[in-house]
Amino acid sequence: MMVGNDRAQVDYLGFNIPDHQLFYKDVVTVTNKGIKIELVKILTIFTSIDFSCNNFEGKIPGVIGEFRGLYFLNLSHNFLAGPIPSSLGNLQYLESLDPSTNNLSGEIPQQLGCLNFLEVLNLSHNQLEGRIPKGNQLQTFSEDSFEDNKGLCGTPQMDCGANMQSQSEGKNSDIGAKIDWNFISAEVGLFFGFAIVI
């Protein structure tokens, strides 16, 4: 977008031929924040990345934090692992961040608490842990934004002390249940083995 003489001029993707302005004719449907938008002409200032459902593996590259004009970032439903890069805190105009349903681990970076324009956040279904950072925006999201991260605690999730205690109790009960089932399975197998021999 170019601004001059108190009026805004919008530029579209395309190419120039002298005396003609041609634009790409493809129509693109973009879904952000749960709303589908059909773009007939693609703006050069459109700043959205949607890499969802691509089976990507590895870490989220920290260089994404250099895309300072980014408004929407969707990395959901991949196999991304490792920590959320703190460089995402550089995306001052980011409105929607969705790295849900991956294998992300570690703590949520404190820098995400400084994203004042963030309207949509979905960190659910990962392996994040620790306290949810305090910040203007992070406290406004519902528990759904953080669900299925067993090591995560703090507002809006349950208290960290209670969460850590219930996790340790859950681990102990799981171990006991597995040992009991293994023991029972061995007994049943032994019983049927003897029955077949007789």
198 residues of the chain, pLDDT tens digit each:
343 444 455 555 555 556 665 555 566 677 666 667 776 666 555 678 889 999 999 999 999 998 888 889 999 999 999 999 999 999 999 999 999 999 999 999 999 999 999 999 999 999 999 999 887 778 888 889 999 998 898 866 556 765 554 444 444 444 444 444 455 555 656 555 555 655
Q: What is the pLDDT of residue 87?
A: 96
Q: What is the pLDDT of residue 36?
A: 75
Q: What is the pLDDT of residue 137?
A: 79
| pTM (two decimals) | 0.64
Q: What is the pLDDT of residue 54?
A: 92
Q: What is the pLDDT of residue 159?
A: 64
Alpha-carbon gap, residue 130 to 70, rounded angstroms: 27
Two tokens at 22? 């041609």
Q: What is the pLDDT of residue 2?
A: 40
Among residues 138, 54, 53, 151, the alpha carbon closest in space to that of 97 is found at: 138
User: Would you call 165 exposed, middle or buried from its count of C-beta atoms within 10 A (0-12, 13-18, 19+)?
Assistant: exposed
Kindly report the backbone phi and psi dihedral angles of residue 67, in degrees, each rounded to the nearest multiple of 5, phi listed first: -85, 70
Among residues 160, 120, 108, 109, the alpha carbon closest in space to that of 144 is found at: 120
Q: What is the pLDDT of residue 134?
A: 82
